[in-house]
Amino acid sequence: MTGKSVRLSVFGQTDVGRKRAKNEDTFVIADLMVSAPIHAMDRSIGLEVGPRGILLAVSDGMGGAQAGEVASALALHALRRGMSTVEANSAEEALQASVEKANQRVWSAATESGRAGMGATMTAVFIHGHRAYVAEVGDSRAYLLRGGRFVQLTHDQSCVQLLLDKGALTKEQAETFQFKNVILQAIGTKPNVVVALNRLTLRRGDRVLLCSDGLTRMVGDPEVQSIVATATTLEAACGKLIDTANARGGEDNITVVLADFAGEGLPASTGDERVSLETVQAFEG
């Protein structure tokens, strides 16, 4: 793959939803070869993956009284700063260390400002060469659409997911479970976190989605897949996802980041091939 380009087109959008007064979600798109990250956009952009890579991330703040929006913004600012010094062959270590530094930054800020309980989820996809590294704390998600396959790249770190994994709840019971919004860890609520970290080799034609739970609590995976697969543009897909979540009640802030991958530096997809996701570090709950 040396000397061959890896390119992506990317678009991000965030919406306050129908029930919340403020938007506590934040997203970032950052070409780590340049200094200015993107937090808002009106159209998709094209990027080439350079030696320092590309960072995509979504964070869902919590804490109320502006503490949530502070937490999510601080978390992604610290993440991006940490990743700005990544070197070749250290992608996994850099991503894990940067998420841990983001946790420390929000934890410290909560203590200093008196905003006890301030925190945020964080899901980040770091593209380095022909690989993507997926880091997660909380329950914001990342998905991969490859051919006819739609695969969740993250695993919710939530009370309801833990009970589903143990067979103590069915999917039907989970819908009305009283603690379904409780997550098991978050950025900034404790001095340390366990960063769930996975990696995969990208393919030409892959489409990657990052989103907050304001989308996934309102719209099921089959419908998300249909929208992501059939929309003619990234902007149209993001807009449709947000509109659908709002039409179902829009109970929370909704954030989506969508990226398409291309370039001769990526292997061609063989159609409906199985997605091979490698676990680097798991969160055991």
Q: Are 140 and 210 in contact (CB under 8 A)?
A: yes
pLDDT of 206 > 70? The answer is: yes
Of 48, 224, 73, whose CA–CA distance to 142 is shortest? Answer: 224
Catalogue all structural domains in the chain, each as residue range(s) with its CATH number: 7-35+47-281 (3.60.40.10)
Please name the residue ranges forming H helices in 231-279.
Answer: 234-247
* Token pair 């070197």 in the structure block, residue: 87
* pLDDT computed for residue 89 by the predictor: 59
* pLDDT computed for residue 115 by the predictor: 80
Q: What is the pTM of this model?
A: 0.95
Q: What share of the chain is helix, strand, coil (3-state, %, to 5)?
A: 30, 30, 40
Report the range of poorest mean pLDDT among 89-93, 120-124, 185-189, 254-258.
Answer: 89-93
Strands 141-146 and 207-211: what pairing? Answer: antiparallel
- Phi, psi angles (nearest 5°) of residue 187: -65, 125
Alpha carbon of residue 83 to chain centroid: 15
Average pLDDT over residues 265-269: 91
Instruction: Provide the residue type at 42 as one letter.
Output: D
Could you tell me if residue 228 is left (phi over 0), alpha (psi between -120 and 50 degrees) or otherwise beta?
alpha
